[in-house]
Amino acid sequence: MRPFGVFGQNTPAVPPVTVQLSDFTVYQSATLGTATPTYSITNTGTVTSQAGTLENWLTSGTASNYEVRATVTSGTLTSGTSGSWLSCGTTRTWSKSNGAQDNSVLTCVMTVEIRLASTGVVQDSATITLSAESDNLN
């Protein structure tokens, strides 16, 4: 009998996925005061918002080996750095605020990318929408 399969060939191993990001819309509404939805890439490997944990962006490895960049594609951020690569060894947060109390919704859309710092190769990206609604009592 002949053996089945391929022998003696070097087939490249498929590396495990260590970075994964999902598209999210982060929303917050405030009747009195200011609505401030936030999106954070934490140095512990999670993605969080003002409401809590959204997902794990890092499934294995060390956060400081990666860098994150947020690029605004629509609207403006209230806080957070955009357009620059930043170490994931520090938690990075972006936010949009609306305190107008006039039934308005302010939105910022951004692309968030994570790359391996040593090679500059982007591992994953996602579209994030921050939506802040400010209501009034009338």
Per residue in 8-49, pLDDT (tens digit) is 455 455 456 799 999 999 999 998 899 999 999 999 999 999
Domain membership flag for residue 68: yes
DSSP conformational letter for 34: -
pLDDT of residue 8: 46
Number of folded domains in the chain? 1
By CB atoms closer than 10 A (0-12, 13-18, 19+), residue 99 is middle
Round to whole Å and give the CA distance between 21 and 46: 10
Round to whole Å and give the CA distance between 115 and 37: 25
For 65, phi and psi rounded to 5 degrees? -80, 0
pLDDT value at 3 more than 80? no
Round to whole Å and give the CA distance between 63 and 51: 22
Domain membership flag for residue 11: no
Give the domain CATH number at 37: 2.60.40
Domain membership flag for residue 15: no
Q: Considering the entire predicted model, what is its pTM?
A: 0.88
Domain membership flag for residue 121: yes
